[in-house]
Structure 1
Amino acid sequence: MATSADHASFLPPVLTFLSAAVIGVPIFRLLGQSAVLGYLVAGVVIGPSGLSLITEPETARSVSELGVVLLLFIVGLELEISRLISLRRDILGLGTLQLGLCALALGGLGLLAGLKPGAATVIGIALALSATAVALQLLEERRDLAAPYGQRAFAVLLFQDLSIVGILALLPLIAQTGTGAGEAWLGEALQSAGLAVAAVLGVVLVGRYGLNPFFRMLAASGAREVMTAAALLVVLGTALIMEEVGLSMAMGAFLAGLLLAESNFRHQLEADIEPFRGMLLGLFFMSVGMSIDLALVGQHWVGLFLATATSILVKVALVAALFRLFGSSWLDGLRGAAVLAPAGEFAFVLLPVGQELGLIDREAGRLAIAIAAVTMLLGPLGAKALDTVLARRAAAPLEPAFDVVENAEARVLVVGFGRFGHILNQVLLAQGLSVTVIDKDVEQIRSAARFGFRVYYGDGTRLDVLRAAGAGRAEVICICIDDQEATLKVVDLVHAEFPTTRTYVRVFDRVQAIEAMNRDVDYQVRETFESALAFGRATLEALGIGPGEAARVVDDVRKRDLARLVLQQAGDPLDRTDPLRSFLRIKPEPLTAPLRSSRALNAETEDIIARERAGAKEQARLKEPALAEADEGDETPDA
């Protein structure tokens, strides 16, 4: 029977990882360094070569690789298929040249250092690959993933992920060179490639025709935790399928994200996955840090330093030249090369396989793994140093060349796609503006699809959903939901997290209008106010009053109403310490003095009017002089 100690046995390592992250990352961020470097150093400190708080880093890495998987899923969500097609030249051309030339150069240096041809080939390929997690994290921190050089760097990383199945199939052939086993290898390679292609096609078909109805059904159930579970199921399930057919798990997750990039649920999925992605990715970086053998580094520090520096410099030089060849400026080429310089996480897969096949001896394998880990440790430092140097040489500090936005023209974010939001979008789209809309009602999303609006499933009261939908980059956020509490919550979130973004708010009534004004919204309108004024103007015209006079009367009512609203706000009518006072002072009152008193047509109505008059007397007693003057229409402040 399991004891309480057995149940608690997983807590010490979990607390160790959390403590290392909480202490290490803020320190390095305060020093102006990347969070990646903080995670890596934290891993070194708690690992076997440091304080030995964690003695088996391999166990942590098997779990932490899920962080890379979720990272690629989110990248896939942000990359539409049309954009992926537009990158085909960089993926196939630049990616092939980068991997081929870097592997040849680094393998050739290995031959000069005395390695056997097989070992030099495997080590050259392993070091030519780049760290997807490190590169994407650096681009994300720079907010340059959508910049031209960021897109080229991503294309290279994508090609490397695609090439893994071919590289793993190539290693046995290298090991069997001269044994006459080429034909057997060719058959196995063709079988593996066919299985991989079939799996990819199967995932594409299921994703294309099954995922949207699946998530629509779950969203209609109203169980948000099930949506999170379903998102994880899709990501991890696709990753497992791809791993089983020889592709990488990261490639499978990227494919799942790509299939959902056009989905109405993409922002909600991104918000649900983001917390898991961040924690597991940090764990991955710490596991890499734990794999660095400080004793081995100390024993061979001169050779390791020279090999690491040479590997980074060779990759930077070749990648920068290739970026320039494909149209980037030298500045962008250097920045792209800096993020691609560290060896990739696949080095920790290829090098052990090379050892098992007898291509690399144990000592050379340990040194190669150490070089790969140290490049991942020094890579973020080099990228930060390059940014610093370039910033000092420039006339002004470097700014991100591009924001990571799904559409550079999405200047407006509309929260809520009900009756009000629908009409608002008609106006915005009539002007040719691109608008992002989020709503948590599946029926509203289905209706919007018929109009061609860009509407996504998500809860606008969640900060992560707002951020994922681009709230930080929108010029105006229009809040058009009919839930009064939710409306004010969204206003508070936007003002706290995105202070430079303007807020335009649809409010329910006079009380909520004052609440919105107290929060300094840029514009607010009561949902029925303008339509009622238009209705009243039409009624006046129907009674024979000229259009000009009717328009003047309506404009006068609008000004009087605004004046009263301003006075009520200034008088703090929403005093929470006196609910009765608040209730009495915010009630519908005539803006123009009535010509006669109200008359009841039956006994029931007489009772109601009598109670109303008694309440009105109490209200008049509580009124401030300024508000009383406005009610009598004696003076109307300039609106």
Structure 2
Amino acid sequence: MTGYFLQAFIYLLAAVIAVPIAKRLGLGSVLGYLIAGLVIGPILGLVGEETNAIQHFAEFGVVMMLFLVGMELEPKALWNMKLRLLGLGGLQLLLTSAVIMGIGIYAGLSWQVSLTVGLIFALSSTAIVLQTFQEKGLQQTEGAKSAFSILLFQDIAVIPILALIPLLALPELIDIAENTVQTASGHSENLVEGLPGWLYGLVIMGSIAFVTVGGHYLSRPLFKFVASSGLREIFTATALMLIIGIATLMGLVGLSPALGAFLAGVVLANSEFRHELKANIEPFKGLLLGLFFITVGAGIHFATLTENLGLIVSITLGVMVLKALVLLLIATFFGLKGSNRWLLTLSLAQAGEFGFVLISFAAQNNVLATDLIALLQLVVALSMFLTPGLFILFERGIMPRFMRNGSKRKPDAVNDKGPVIIAGIGRFGQIVNRLLVANDFKTVILDIRSEQVDLMRQIGTQAYFGDASKPEMLHTAGIDEASLIVIAIDDKETAVEMVKYAKLSHPHVKVLVRAFDRGHGYRLRQAGADYMISETYHSALELGAQALRSLGVHPFQAERQKHAYRDIEARQSDVLYEAWKDDASGERFDNNYRDLFMELQQLIDDALKSDLHDNHSKRRGWTPPPKGYAEEQLDKEQD
């Protein structure tokens, strides 16, 4: 028993150390697990023969992952993105697999092995790519959205690939495996082995029908019964029981456990217990998947790497270049341009974590020989190690070039003049502009994002491309005759500099600015802004009042509480600003400021509590709602 505890401690310690370091370096959690496995396995030799046994157990994390993937695939959502999903994803998988398969056959491999290798290398790393998109704020770009469609198609395609691989088994490997099994054990866990083909087909169809129909009709009463107990751990046990039971059933009838789990996930995608299931399974999935990747890293043969270093590096670079060319071709065909085309190309050029799953599954089903397995694992791992470098290349080499090219667009000639100049026509600036235009005030809109300017023009809002932070652009827009400038850009430093310039060169112009937070608001005030407003202040205050109303507080009282908060905040604003301004430190948040800020919070709490027990409003400028207002609002909400 002590030996098991020691091995578990080594695996967990390696993960705890390696994964956070890898994430900080921008390598991603999957690479962190692989590195951890490399360190405790080939490098330090802390783990050894038990790795394969642990890997079989950890593969259950893959089953859980596919169950969760299935739960994300609502038919309606898939239908809405069918063109990208089938077009981009299907074409990428088909072309990449076909090209690699052709090269494999030319190199002397059998068509079964060549096809398997092609499918393995065609997949990319969902974990690394999506995490990097999020970290670098690229999710909303066209390139990232297209990449997500391809990754989603690849994740779905893993299911039929898992079903296909057993059909590609090589006779010579089957004979070796059968001899090994007969020597080790005299029985099989496959209950359908030896059945006639027609009966085997009926068993398969019946099993799939049971999972589909049973998952739809039987799971709901079961989960309702379990949920009525109010015990979270029993719900967790039920979720695990469901997945383990389905995986076992699929294994007993000769199908992939992952296929059954994926099918069950799709069936439960619209269940009212979907979110609870995901919350309970996610920790187990993450831990087992991490353990799986650690065992992959621990099982990598350094001897194979050193003996075939040139070959492995050549294959890795060849696969990545080939995938990049296919992706570039597809991106061009589907109309992606500029940096988006290169983002798609470089982000998906690596092999992915599902490659390890397919390699392991192909080995179990007698498709790949042992020496080839070690080679493929090293190629997949090395391509994933190189992925952060591709993102660095995109971020530092390609993006700046396209930004420079984009900046070659000449600023528009501003033909209009008006009393108000709006710098920035994003979600914030649009609302300000609508209010002004609705009240017959002429506005001149400037924005440095050409695509945003073009979008505004498409919806009937006249906007001009130009950098409002440049004095000559403001002069062209008519700041000499304007009486007001609204700065609604999303760059903190540029906003401060614009305020300084406007108040110094055009003191007659009032400057209204969007602030990101309290500290930014202080800097804008110090620069001379006439009015600053935090972009989240009023929306948060309004939402807080609505939360009170939703919890049964009378609308009149909720409105009074909102005004009480606003009054105290306004009265203390100057005190806090002076404390911030007097602080000589770089951050301008010393102990005096913190004490004052805490005092403000206490004043707000006291004022709200006092207002709560005060039967007479001392405020003016707001009329209480008429009698019966609360009841009318409640009826509307119920309707």
TM-score, normalising length from structure 1?
A: 0.57
Aligned pair partner of 1:233 in 241, 258, 262? 241
Query: Which letter maps to 1:17?
Result: Y
What do residues 84-136 of structure 1 show as CA deviations (whole Å, max 9, x unaligned)? 34455666665554444323322333344454555444434443344566566
Give yes or no for contact 2:93–2:122 (8 Å, CA) kept in 1: yes
Please say if 1:349 is aligned against 2:357: no
Give yes or no for contact 2:126–2:151 (8 Å, CA) kept in 1: no
Aligned pair partner of 2:99 in 63, 82, 105? 105
Give yes or no for contact 1:240–1:252 (8 Å, CA) kept in 2: no
Aligned ranges for residues 209-228 of structure 1 at < 5 Å?
Answer: 209-228=217-236
Alignment correspondent of 2:73 = 79
The structural deviation recorded for 1:342 is 0.6
Q: Partners in 2 of 1:370 and 1:68 — Cα distance?
A: 20
Aligned pair partner of 1:15 in 9, 15, 27? 9
Give yes or no for contact 2:305–2:312 (8 Å, CA) kept in 1: yes
The structural deviation recorded for 1:27 is 1.8
Q: Partners in 2 of 1:191 and 1:134 — Cα distance?
A: 43
Q: Partners in 2 of 1:500 and 1:36 — Cα distance?
A: 41
Alignment correspondent of 2:318 = 310
Aligned pair partner of 2:262 in 231, 254, 258? 254
The structural deviation recorded for 1:139 is 6.2
Q: Partners in 2 of 1:286 and 1:526 — Cα distance?
A: 48
Give yes or no for contact 1:111–1:117 (8 Å, CA) kept in 2: yes
Q: Partners in 2 of 1:564 and 1:361 — Cα distance?
A: 74
Q: Partners in 2 of 1:330 and 1:174 — Cα distance?
A: 50
Aligned pair partner of 2:304 in 271, 280, 296? 296
What do residues 2-48 of structure 1 show as CA deviations (whole Å, max 9, x unaligned)? xxxx2x3322222222222222122222223322222221211111x
Please say if 1:54 is aligned against 2:63: no
Deviates more, 1:334-343 or 1:54-63: 334-343
Q: Partners in 2 of 1:22 and 1:557 — Cα distance?
A: 47
Find the residue that maps to 1:9 and give its secondary structure: helix
Q: 1:138 to 1:285 in 2, by over 3 A?
A: farther
The structural deviation recorded for 1:314 is 1.4
Q: 1:591 to 1:101 in 2, by over 3 A?
A: closer
Aligned ranges for residues 329-368 of structure 1 at < 5 Å?
Answer: 331-332=339-340, 334-336=342-344, 338-339=347-348, 341-343=350-352, 344-349=355-360, 351-353=362-364, 356=366, 362-368=370-376
Alignment correspondent of 1:530 = 554
Give yes or no for contact 1:342–1:379 (8 Å, CA) kept in 2: no
Query: Which letter maps to 1:277?
Result: K
Please say if 1:29 is aligned against 2:38: no
Give yes or no for contact 1:288–1:373 (8 Å, CA) kept in 2: no
Q: 1:367 to 1:335 in 2, by over 3 A?
A: same
Q: 1:258 to 1:557 in 2, by over 3 A?
A: closer
Q: Partners in 1 of 2:562 and 2:341 — Cα distance?
A: 59
Q: Partners in 1 of 2:158 and 2:229 — Cα distance?
A: 40
Give yes or no for contact 1:41–1:286 (8 Å, CA) kept in 2: yes
Q: Partners in 1 of 2:251 and 2:338 — Cα distance?
A: 37
Q: Partners in 1 of 2:329 and 2:560 — Cα distance?
A: 69
Q: Partners in 2 of 1:382 and 1:199 — Cα distance?
A: 44
Q: Partners in 2 of 1:503 and 1:559 — Cα distance?
A: 9
Find the residue that maps to 2:356 and give its secondary structure: coil
Deviates more, 1:102-111 or 1:142-151: 142-151
Alignment correspondent of 2:278 = 270
Find the residue that maps to 2:7 and give its secondary structure: helix
Give yes or no for contact 1:34–1:384 (8 Å, CA) kept in 2: no
Give yes or no for contact 1:24–1:39 (8 Å, CA) kept in 2: yes
Give yes or no for contact 1:79–1:258 (8 Å, CA) kept in 2: yes
Aligned ranges for residues 42-441 of structure 1 at < 5 Å?
Answer: 42-47=36-41, 49-55=42-48, 56-87=50-81, 97-115=91-109, 119-130=113-124, 144=139, 147-172=145-170, 195-326=203-334, 331-332=339-340, 334-336=342-344, 338-339=347-348, 341-343=350-352, 344-349=355-360, 351-353=362-364, 356=366, 362-379=370-387, 381-383=389-391, 385-395=393-403
Find the residue that maps to 1:59 and give its secondary structure: helix
Q: 1:522 to 1:19 in 2, by over 3 A?
A: farther
Q: Partners in 2 of 1:93 and 1:526 — Cα distance?
A: 46
Q: 1:123 to 1:556 in 2, by over 3 A?
A: closer
Alignment correspondent of 1:502 = 540
Q: Partners in 2 of 1:46 and 1:117 — Cα distance?
A: 37
Q: Partners in 2 of 1:169 and 1:374 — Cα distance?
A: 29
Query: Which letter maps to 1:502?
Result: A
Q: Partners in 1 of 2:561 and 2:338 — Cα distance?
A: 63
Give yes or no for contact 2:250–2:257 (8 Å, CA) kept in 1: yes
Q: Partners in 1 of 2:230 and 2:377 — Cα distance?
A: 48
Two-structure CA RMSD over aligned residues (Å): 4.9
Give yes or no for contact 2:162–2:358 (8 Å, CA) kept in 1: no
Alignment correspondent of 1:517 = none
The structural deviation recorded for 1:148 is 3.8
Q: Partners in 1 of 2:243 and 2:199 — Cα distance?
A: 26
Task: Give unpaired runs (5+ residues) of structure 2.
Answer: 175-192, 405-535, 572-598, 623-639
Q: Partners in 1 of 2:7 and 2:259 — Cα distance?
A: 29
Q: Partners in 2 of 1:237 and 1:503 — Cα distance?
A: 49
Q: 1:525 to 1:253 in 2, by over 3 A?
A: same
Q: Partners in 1 of 2:291 and 2:47 — Cα distance?
A: 12
The structural deviation recorded for 1:504 is 5.9
Q: Partners in 2 of 1:220 and 1:62 — Cα distance?
A: 35
Give yes or no for contact 1:165–1:246 (8 Å, CA) kept in 2: no
Aligned ranges for residues 514-529 of structure 1 at < 5 Å?
Answer: 524-525=548-549, 529=553
Query: Which letter maps to 1:530?
Result: H
The structural deviation recorded for 1:62 is 1.9
Q: Partners in 1 of 2:317 and 2:234 — Cα distance?
A: 48
The structural deviation recorded for 1:526 is 8.9
Identity %: 28
What do residues 471-505 of structure 1 show as CA deviations (whole Å, max 9, x unaligned)? xxxxxxxxxxxxxxxxxxxxxxxxxxx99983767
Task: Give unpaired runs (5+ residues) of structure 1.
Answer: 1-5, 177-184, 397-497, 507-520, 535-554, 577-581, 593-634
Give yes or no for contact 2:146–2:344 (8 Å, CA) kept in 1: no
Query: Which letter maps to 1:42?
Result: A
What do residues 244-279 of structure 1 show as CA deviations (whole Å, max 9, x unaligned)? 445544443333332232222222222222222222
Give yes or no for contact 2:557–2:612 (8 Å, CA) kept in 1: no
TM-score, normalising length from structure 2?
A: 0.57
Give yes or no for contact 1:40–1:377 (8 Å, CA) kept in 2: no
Q: Partners in 2 of 1:590 and 1:16 — Cα distance?
A: 65
Q: Partners in 2 of 1:172 and 1:326 — Cα distance?
A: 39
